Amino acid sequence: MKLPEAATCAAVNEDEAALATPFVKCLVRLIRAEESYCLWEGKSDAALLAGFIVTRNKRRAIPGMGYPDPHALWRLDMFYSAVGLAIAERFRPVTSPIVEAKPVRPLGAGFSVPGVGSFCPDIHRFGFETFRQLAEAGTRLVDDATADTEVSTDVSLV
């Protein structure tokens, strides 16, 4: 079944708008800065961010247990590092990453009660359905953090 051309154009325009948001541009800059061999130099922003798109079908195919995939941890680290960087760009203070990827033990490892260690069972499924959802999630986190900071800054000046 072929999609109508108008629906295809709308999806492409939505992706282009999402890729043009300040948060997504910040995420792309961060990803490009991580790569030191210039292998990603010719790749488009959409191609670099393709790993962040995890559709429902892809999510279902990922096993529910076991060690998180290193690529999923990298995506999580890049996403929250970009949130921190975008906040820093708004205020110009020095910030550090919010989440630092560390080796993760299997869920429940070291605990006598099963499931006690499963504080984030879907970490290996981290991703978004569309570029738009990626942009909205990152922008929302940055906006919430900067709004909270602006309120606390205004109160301290009084």
User: Residue 124 has what pLDDT?
Assistant: 79
pLDDT of residue 156: 52
Q: What is the pLDDT of residue 116?
A: 39
- What local confidence, expressed as pLDDT, does residue 150 receive? 66
**In this predicted structure, what is the pLDDT of residue 41?**
85
Q: What is the fold, at CATH topology level, of the domain defined by 21-91+121-145?
A: Putative cytoplasmic protein (1.10.3100)
Q: Count CA within 13 A, CB hemisphere, residue 53.
A: 13
Identify the pLDDT of residue 1: 46
The two structure tokens encoding residue 143 = 């906006």
pLDDT for residue 31 = 93
State residue 40's pLDDT score. Answer: 82
pLDDT in tens, 65-84: 777 788 888 999 999 999 99
pLDDT at position 121 is: 67
Domain ranges of the chain: 21-91+121-145
CA distance 111 to 115: 8
pTM over 0.85: no
Cα(158)–Cα(32) distance, rounded to whole angstroms? Answer: 42
pLDDT confidence of residue 114: 44
Which residues of the chain, if any, have pLDDT below 50? 1, 104-118, 158
- pLDDT score at 105: 47
